[in-house]
A = this chain, B = another copy of it.
């Protein structure tokens, strides 16, 4: 059975998984859940994915959730081409970069959190913009240093890893929020390099079947 990726074109967590599926050469079908209308919280989808979040990957009669867990599953079940380097320490360094995005940057800037800042806390748009900029800026500053230590064209070494699968969607998000990336030349260079790779290019939000050119 063809794997089914539940996602949304602008979900950066789903974008991570799209990149990895493409890098691994795994044919898949996409099902879109419109995050703007809360479609991902519908009971039918929650039976598959109790958190009511995207992405989820249906494979072999099971549904896997959480993008980092799905990336690790892809690496174990489809080891070629590898998205983690050899050696436990090197693998930890790559996973740390991926987690820096997935645990410390993205969770503070995704749609459900921005909605909560606006509606639950009544934060004005200017404060929300500063909030987004702060977490992306602090996170990217650390990643710029880490990529300087370990990168050679990509976040780690000279091949794409799960760190790039996480970074590229976060850079897309940063641009969407008009974050100045001038202080992060290495991250911008990794992004430019990845954009030349078909697996990354085909995963881009604007190229997804559910992309809405009119979305704000």
Q: Which residues of B contact A215 (CB under 8 A)?
A: none
B contact residues around A64 at 8 Å (CB) = 89, 92-93, 96
User: With contacts A60-B89, A64-B93 known, is A50 near B120, CB below 8 A?
Assistant: no
Residues of the B chain whose Cβ atoms lie less than 8 Å from the Cβ of A42: none
Copies in the complex: 2
- Tell me whether A104 is interfacial, beta carbon within 8 Å: yes
In residues 98-144 of chain A, which contact B (Cβ within 8 Å)? Answer: 98-100, 102-104, 106-108, 113, 116-117, 120-121, 123, 127, 130-131, 134, 138-139, 141-143
A107 / chain B contacts, CB cutoff of 8 Å: 103-104, 107-108
Size of chain A's interface in residues, with CB distance under 8 A?
A: 50
Q: Bound state CA distance, A66 and B70, in angstroms?
A: 18
Q: Interface residues, chain A, CB within 8 Å of chain B?
A: 50-53, 60, 62, 64-70, 72-73, 76-77, 88-89, 91-93, 95-96, 98-100, 102-104, 106-108, 113, 116-117, 120-121, 123, 127, 130-131, 134, 138-139, 141-143, 145-146
